[in-house]
Amino acid sequence: MREKLFQYLGHLLEQNLPFLALKMAGSSLVKVIAQNDQKWYKSAPDKVAYAVFSKFQGYENQVYIAGEKILSFNYEVSTSQPKINQSIIPEDGKEAYLELFEKAMLRLQNQQLSKVVLSRKQEFVLNDSDLDIFERLLDTYPMANGYFFFHPQVGKWMGATPELLLNVQSDGLNVAQSKMDDLPVTVSTMSLAGTAVDDGSLNHIWGDKELEEQQLVTDFIISQFKESAAIDIKQSVVETVKAGHLLHLRTIIKARSTTSEIKTLLNALHPTPAVCGLPRDESMGFIVKNENYDRSYYTGYLGIIEGAQHHYFVNLRCMQLLEKTAVIYVGGGVTAKSEATLEYQETRAKLQTMHRLL
Ligand X SMILES: C=C(O[C@H]1C=CC=C(C(=O)O)[C@@H]1O)C(=O)O
List interacting residues with ligand X (CB under 6 A).
Answer: 117, 163, 192-195, 248, 274-275, 316-317, 330-333, 350
Q: Check: CB of residue 320 under 8 Å from CB of residue 156.
A: yes
Q: In this structure, what are the phi and psi dihedrals at residue 323, rounded to the nearest 5 degrees?
A: -55, -55
In the complex, what is the shortest distance from the CB of residue 123 to ligand X, in angstroms, rounded to a whole number?
A: 16
> Measured from the CB of residue 318, what is the shortest distance to ligand X in angstroms?
8
Quote the least distance from Cβ 203 to ligand X, whole Å.
19
Instruction: Output 140 or 178, the one with its CB closest to ligand X.
Output: 140
CB 330, min distance to ligand X, A: 5
- Beta-carbon neighbour count of residue 13 at 10 Å? 17
Of the pair 210, 306, the CB lying nearest ligand X is at 210
CB of 161 to ligand X, least distance (A): 8
* Closest to ligand X by CB, 307 or 332: 332
Query: Which of 71, 77, 3, 67 lies closest to 32, judged by CA?
Result: 71
Q: Which is nearer to ligand X, 178 or 299 (CB)?
A: 299
- Beta carbon of residue 94, minimum distance to ligand X (angstroms, whole number): 17
Closest to ligand X by CB, 295 vs 311, is 295
The least CB distance from residue 329 to ligand X, in Å, is 7
In the complex, minimum distance from the CB of residue 319 to ligand X, in angstroms, rounded to a whole number: 11
Residue with Cβ nearer ligand X (52 or 275)? 275
Q: How far is the CB of 159 from ligand X (least distance, A)?
A: 10
Q: Which lies closer to ligand X via its Cβ, residue 122 or residue 170?
A: 122
Strands of the sheet containing 29-34, edge to edge, are: 69-74, 29-34, 19-23, 145-151, 155-161, 318-321, 325-334, 115-125, 277-278
Q: Which is nearer to ligand X, 248 or 311 (CB)?
A: 248
Which of residues 163 and 212 has its CB atom nearest to ligand X in the complex?
163
Closest CA to 150 of 38, 69, 259, 58: 38
